[in-house]
Structure 1
């Protein structure tokens, strides 16, 4: 009884602070995050253990991005036409419920391709999720929403070793099949909860009314390039989007080939490597509780995030193989550096982008951003797979170069901005 009262009070307090939709989205996030972490860390190894080559793993990943690129063209229109709530539920079924079922029974390359095709439709519910999360939330509360959501996801990451325990008992393929069945159950439950608890946003209702007219439908499609022009003219948005794309590009490559690198090249145990995501979660939680809320100069922290990821990549590249003391220390250092970097860049970039985008144009702008982002992401899996087949260190050399360029480019941009600001002040004084 007391537990039920606590839940009601906590949920009511969340609604009062950040709004109903944001509260529902954050609190139900574990239903998505837990199975995602359990499966995603071992996805590449799951395919490789069934005879799929490292290069084919990259192709499977890239197929998803082809579908995402096509779906993203229509995502803004679909979300405005159907509404945020309907879009997120419908496309969650397409991009998560169906893929989890296919992954649970997949035994060959083409079955994974089929799952990847459905998974690519997730771009629509990703945009709808972003709209649901922030549109009825006041700007001053959005940093709390993103921070709280990140904490929920990171806590879910602590359960990654469960996959390792299952693998040590049942071997990799049967264990991950079970994880996929669990994911299927979680996602069906999540959609039922969202159906009853989510409400259409105010902006969403306006857009649904606008989308009923044929003239508006035509305008929604023809406004695609106008949205592109708006983004290009907005220097802040352009820079934030480019940085976000660079981070996500490297994340895809790292996500695909990090565990294969640890197990095949450094000869770590398949079940044992599941402990590294848990360490990442610990570091990220410490960052979210003690560092992120105290950040004042966000630009300097973004620079630090890029530099830390670059250094972490170099440490991983030069780590010796085998479970020797030096190797373990270097890999643990890599995990810590990357965890700090990801936490900084994810929170700061997400918050800055959310605040820089106008609510009335959010669906269209985020739709265009996702289209452009997906086009850029499409070769990530193929590039990562090709580099891995040349040398297991190849993907991480590539990542280190990208982050170094990102650091240098953002540093240069800040210097130009400061000089312009100083020149403007000098002109005003004269």
Structure 2
């Protein structure tokens, strides 16, 4: 009985019990995205490479799609206000994931992969709406725990990830990944239907939908020029955006070129690619459930610093890894898993705490568009670095982690109103 009472007092359990409605529904259905995504992610780049897409073309796909994402992200804020958070989330899930995955499943060359990646850009519409749907009716004090639950939901794939490695070993990679993409399309269709049935429009969403009724989309697009000065005048928001941009770039670079690095340079078997996400997920789950709630004494700056240090140490170990250095790669995965558990929920919560609730949708869209725009050149740049030496993209990430540490040193903990400076 005492053990049950203790678990009920756990910060994560308490937040899940107190935040009914949208937060709980979205947390519970997150595995419908997280399971297939994490099953495919270790093989996605190698899948393209095996079908004849070169390192430079992979980087070009990243840069082209990021340019498209910038445009779509701007419209995402407008659609979120005019159509509502719920309906816009459904549009992004269906067109940005379900339809895109069907194209990925049948892709055979550079152009088909590019088309699939461009379709996936519609997920940027979902990004703005989904964040609003998740947190607008929630207690701001619970944001770190809510984002922690979202991360945990995505990590449920740990229980299924061995299947992709087993199937790749038995049937070869390309046919297995094609089937996984088909399954991904089905799960995202199911996620869209569940959102329609069990989620509701937020209070702020209803207000914004009424306020923008009769306002043309072009006029709303032009109003972004009034939001930009507000972004530039907020030191706390600028710091949060800077951290988000850096992690967007490093995640893009590391996730895209990790599989090529460990298989083509270090000589590890592609079968190991399914093991690394398992280890990453186990470490993150243990840390988030057992340690995360004990760090409330220093909500942002110290955990972010520690996470960056772990990211940097892991990346350095990977760069210096010897041929067939499985131990070094495992160390990299362990260090980065703890780093991600510390950084991911806090960088997202830090961003939302600094946003004006009245303009959350369009400010989120503006920030997403800015993040993607600033990151855009680095996809091609990382592909070029990888073509010279597959260690170089990770050396570039190491530099960015050092820059992020400088930014975090200027972050202050949230005050009584929730905002930082």
Partner of 2:9: none
Partner of 1:47: 48
- Please, which runs of 5 or more residues in structure 1 have no aligned partner? 1-12, 419-430
In the alignment, the residues of structure 1 paired with residue 346 and residue 41 of structure 2 have an alpha-carbon distance, to the nearest angstrom, of 24
- For residue 217 of structure 1, report the CA deviation from its aligned partner: 5.1
Matches within 5 A, 1:389-404: 389-404=387-402
Range 26-35 or range 285-294, more displaced: 285-294
- For residue 238 of structure 1, report the CA deviation from its aligned partner: 0.6
Decide whether the 8 Å contact of 2:84 with 2:205 is kept in 1.
yes
- For residue 159 of structure 1, report the CA deviation from its aligned partner: 2.5
Decide whether the 8 Å contact of 1:232 with 1:238 is kept in 2.
yes
The answer on 1:252 being equivalent to 2:252 is yes
- For residue 385 of structure 1, report the CA deviation from its aligned partner: 0.6
Decide whether the 8 Å contact of 1:384 with 1:395 is kept in 2.
yes
- For residue 34 of structure 1, report the CA deviation from its aligned partner: 0.7
Cα 1:408–1:187 shift into 2, 3 Å: same
Decide whether the 8 Å contact of 2:15 with 2:146 is kept in 1.
no
Cα 1:173–1:229 shift into 2, 3 Å: same
Cα 1:312–1:272 shift into 2, 3 Å: same
Q: Secondary structure at the match of 1:107?
A: coil
The answer on 1:80 being equivalent to 2:78 is no
The answer on 1:321 being equivalent to 2:319 is no
Cα 1:218–1:62 shift into 2, 3 Å: closer
Deviations 1:148-172 (A, max 9, x none): 1111112224422321111001101
Partner of 2:287: 287
- For residue 118 of structure 1, report the CA deviation from its aligned partner: 0.6
Decide whether the 8 Å contact of 1:387 with 1:394 is kept in 2.
yes
In the alignment, the residues of structure 2 paired with residue 91 and residue 314 of structure 1 have an alpha-carbon distance, to the nearest angstrom, of 37
In the alignment, the residues of structure 2 paired with residue 207 and residue 332 of structure 1 have an alpha-carbon distance, to the nearest angstrom, of 48
The TM-score with structure 2 as length reference comes to 0.91
Partner of 2:304: 302
Partner of 2:61: 60
The answer on 1:129 being equivalent to 2:130 is yes
Matching residue within 329, 332, 357 for 1:331 = 329
In the alignment, the residues of structure 1 paired with residue 257 and residue 161 of structure 2 have an alpha-carbon distance, to the nearest angstrom, of 17
The TM-score with structure 1 as length reference comes to 0.89
Decide whether the 8 Å contact of 1:256 with 1:381 is kept in 2.
no
Decide whether the 8 Å contact of 2:161 with 2:277 is kept in 1.
yes
Decide whether the 8 Å contact of 1:132 with 1:201 is kept in 2.
yes
Q: Secondary structure at the match of 1:209?
A: helix
Partner of 2:418: none
Decide whether the 8 Å contact of 1:33 with 1:157 is kept in 2.
no
Partner of 1:99: 100
Partner of 2:168: 167
In the alignment, the residues of structure 2 paired with residue 16 and residue 292 of structure 1 have an alpha-carbon distance, to the nearest angstrom, of 18
- For residue 271 of structure 1, report the CA deviation from its aligned partner: 1.2
Range 383-392 or range 161-170, more displaced: 161-170
- Please, which runs of 5 or more residues in structure 2 have no aligned partner? 1-13, 414-421
In the alignment, the residues of structure 1 paired with residue 82 and residue 256 of structure 2 have an alpha-carbon distance, to the nearest angstrom, of 35
Q: CA RMSD in A?
A: 1.8
Partner of 2:154: 153
Partner of 1:8: none
Matching residue within 408, 411, 414 for 1:410 = 408
The answer on 1:29 being equivalent to 2:30 is yes
Range 387-396 or range 347-356, more displaced: 347-356
- For residue 336 of structure 1, report the CA deviation from its aligned partner: 1.0
Decide whether the 8 Å contact of 1:158 with 1:281 is kept in 2.
no
Partner of 1:3: none
- For residue 16 of structure 1, report the CA deviation from its aligned partner: 5.7
- For residue 218 of structure 1, report the CA deviation from its aligned partner: 6.0
Rg larger in structure: 1
Deviations 1:175-219 (A, max 9, x none): 1001011111111111111111111111111111111123x7565
Deviations 1:263-299 (A, max 9, x none): 1111111112210111111111122012211112231
Partner of 2:271: 271
Q: Which runs of 4+ in 1 moved over 4 A?
A: 13-16, 216-219
The answer on 1:239 being equivalent to 2:243 is no
Decide whether the 8 Å contact of 1:158 with 1:277 is kept in 2.
no
In the alignment, the residues of structure 2 paired with residue 86 and residue 33 of structure 1 have an alpha-carbon distance, to the nearest angstrom, of 21
In the alignment, the residues of structure 2 paired with residue 237 and residue 114 of structure 1 have an alpha-carbon distance, to the nearest angstrom, of 34
In the alignment, the residues of structure 1 paired with residue 99 and residue 42 of structure 2 have an alpha-carbon distance, to the nearest angstrom, of 19
Decide whether the 8 Å contact of 1:25 with 1:133 is kept in 2.
yes
Range 354-363 or range 243-252, more displaced: 354-363
